[in-house]
């Protein structure tokens, strides 16, 4: 299974929101600055995440995005599926038409792998990821660099 940029960026952006939950609405410009994801791409992803009821959009001055539920209640699989990213290892995306409209010899094997990947990603919440020491260290570095850029840009 290869997770596309869309799925990886959606998970990364949601982890950023989870790391900063409780700080009020987070702008996409902040996420973009910390994660080096283009603002226009984030806007597309967040439209889908909002439709999937994973984030709330707060309008006006001081607005931005917040997680709709606590990070303990949002799985990585939900995020990936919200941006229309299939969680499948099959060439046919699970349709069973991999060989001229019929299933191929290895279809069942890849379907079983897809099920395992889905179960794995369903069992990991945003909170479980952000609690990892490595993730905390990366987030601290990103926050420091982002804040330093703000000081340079506006100082």
- Average pLDDT, integer, range 48-63: 95
Tell me the domains of the chain and their CATH numbers: 5-133 (1.10.10.10)
Distance of CA 136 to the CA centre of its chain: 17
Q: Could you tell me how far CA 35 lies from the centroid of its own chain?
A: 12
8: nearest Cα among 85, 107, 89:
85
Q: Please tell me the predicted confidence (pLDDT) of residue 96.
A: 86
**Tens-place pLDDT, residues 9-38:** 999 999 999 999 989 999 999 999 999 999
H-type alpha helices, the chain? 5-19, 28-35, 39-51, 76-82, 107-122, 126-130, 133-154
Report in angstroms the alpha-carbon separations of 103 from 2, 47, 67, 88: 20, 35, 40, 15
Identify whether the C-beta of residue 86 lies closer than 8 Å to the C-beta of residue 93. yes
What local confidence, expressed as pLDDT, does residue 98 receive? 83
Radius of gyration of the chain (CA): 18
pLDDT value at position 131? 96
Predicted TM-score (pTM) of the model is 0.88
């Amino acid at each position: 299974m290869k997770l596309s940029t869309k799925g990886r960026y959606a998970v990364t952006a949601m982890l950023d929101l989870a790391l900063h939950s409780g700080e009020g609405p987070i702008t996409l410009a902040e996420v973009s600055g910390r994660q080096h994801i283009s603002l226009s791409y984030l806007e597309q992803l967040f439209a889908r995440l909002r439709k999937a009821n994973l984030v709330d959009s707060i309008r006006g001055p001081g607005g931005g995005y917040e997680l709709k539920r606590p990070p303990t209640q949002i799985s990585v699989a939900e995020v990936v599926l919200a941006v229309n990213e299939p969680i499948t290892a099959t060439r046919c995306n699970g349709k069973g038409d991999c060989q001229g409209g019929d299933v191929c010899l290895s279809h069942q094997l890849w379907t079983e792998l897809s099920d395992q990947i889905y179960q794995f990603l369903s069992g990991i919440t945003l909170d479980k990821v952000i609690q990892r020491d490595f993730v905390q260290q990366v987030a601290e570095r990103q926050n420091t660099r982002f804040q330093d850029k703000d000081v340079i840009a506006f100082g």
